[in-house]
């Protein structure tokens, strides 16, 4: 004769089965979130949807506001767009923010590494070396700070200013052509690596994107300024190009 269970025993068995199923689901979700977090710390690059940069006439690109744990970057584009929407109570920065840091890594170290690596790449392609310009770097650094503090990511700031506008009196009087590359990395609780590693991730991301690559390998550039701002688990980088001759 087969064993007959009481309704109470059957109910207990079902509850135990449901608990094990729930625990399995929680474990799966935890593993999935762990993989996503690991990917963010590795600095994965997404360059989908970006096009060619503007060289001779820099105008406002389409709006870009990207909230992601990955590395994103956008070259200056030839299509106009609206300024990004930000907190109306947030004010734009006033002047060069100077040196910032994440862990033991400082922003000026990353800026120097990016400049070195870009010139190494240009040398490999038989191109002239770019001169570093402190005034252009200050312009780039201020834009990186603005994007970080007002939480947007765009060549056009909330006031509607394009890269050419931010160059002020330098364009077109001293820089007859200008260009811009942008990038940001969300580092979470870490620094994102050494200065060399952070710079390599940014530069490699630019080289893997057609628009950024064209900017970096353009023969006409002779000057650049790199501006990096590090705060709140995020690293913003702006690379501004200039043709003075």
- The half-sphere exposure of 224 on its side-chain side, counting CA atoms within 13 A, is 28
Q: Are strands 71-75 and 223-231 parallel, antiparallel or unpaired?
A: unpaired
CB atoms within 10 A of CB 79: 10
Q: Which CATH class is domain 45-243?
A: alpha beta
Enter the tokens of residue 44: 């994965």
Q: With 0-12 CB in 10 A as exposed, 13-18 as middle and 19+ as buried, what is 76?
A: buried
Secondary structure class of 46 (helix, strand, coil): strand
Instruction: Out of 10-24, 115-129, 188-202, pick the least confident.
Output: 10-24
Enter the tokens of residue 90: 């947030």
Interval 33-51: pLDDT, tens: 554 444 443 343 333 333 3
> What separation in angstroms does the CA of 170 have from each of 88, 129, 177?
29, 21, 10
Interval 95-151: pLDDT, tens: 899 999 998 999 999 999 999 999 999 999 999 999 999 999 999 999 999 999 999
Backbone φ and ψ for 36, nearest 5 degrees, come out as: -65, -45
Output DSSP code: residue 186: E
C-alpha to C-alpha distance for 187 and 105, rounded to whole angstroms: 12
């Amino acid at each position: 004769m087969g064993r007959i269970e009481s309704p109470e025993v059957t109910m207990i068995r079902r509850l135990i089965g449901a608990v094990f199923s729930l625990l399995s689901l929680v474990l799966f979700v935890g593993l999935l979130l762990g993989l996503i977090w690991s990917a963010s710390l590795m600095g994965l690059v997404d360059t989908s949807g970006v096009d060619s940069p503007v060289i001779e006439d820099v105008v406002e690109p389409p709006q870009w506001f990207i909230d992601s744990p990955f590395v994103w970057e956008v070259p200056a584009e030839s299509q106009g767009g609206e300024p990004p929407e930000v907190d109306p109570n947030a004010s734009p920065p006033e002047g060069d923010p100077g040196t910032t840091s994440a862990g033991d890594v400082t922003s000026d170290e990353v800026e120097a590494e990016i400049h070195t690596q870009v010139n190494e790449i240009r040398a490999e392609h038989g191109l002239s070396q770019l001169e570093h310009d402190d005034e252009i770097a200050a312009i780039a650094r201020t834009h990186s700070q603005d994007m970080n503090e007002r939480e947007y990511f765009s060549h056009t700031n909330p006031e509607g200013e394009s890269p050419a506008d931010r160059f002020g009196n330098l364009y077109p009087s001293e820089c007859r052509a200008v260009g811009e590359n942008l990038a940001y990395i969300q580092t979470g609780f870490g620094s994102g690596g050494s200065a060399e590693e952070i710079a390599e991730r940014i530069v490699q991301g630019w080289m893997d994107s057609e628009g950024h690559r064209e900017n970096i390998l353009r023969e006409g550039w002779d000057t650049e300024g790199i501006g990096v701002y590090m705060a709140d688990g995020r690293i913003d980088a702006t690379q501004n190009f200039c043709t003075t001759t």
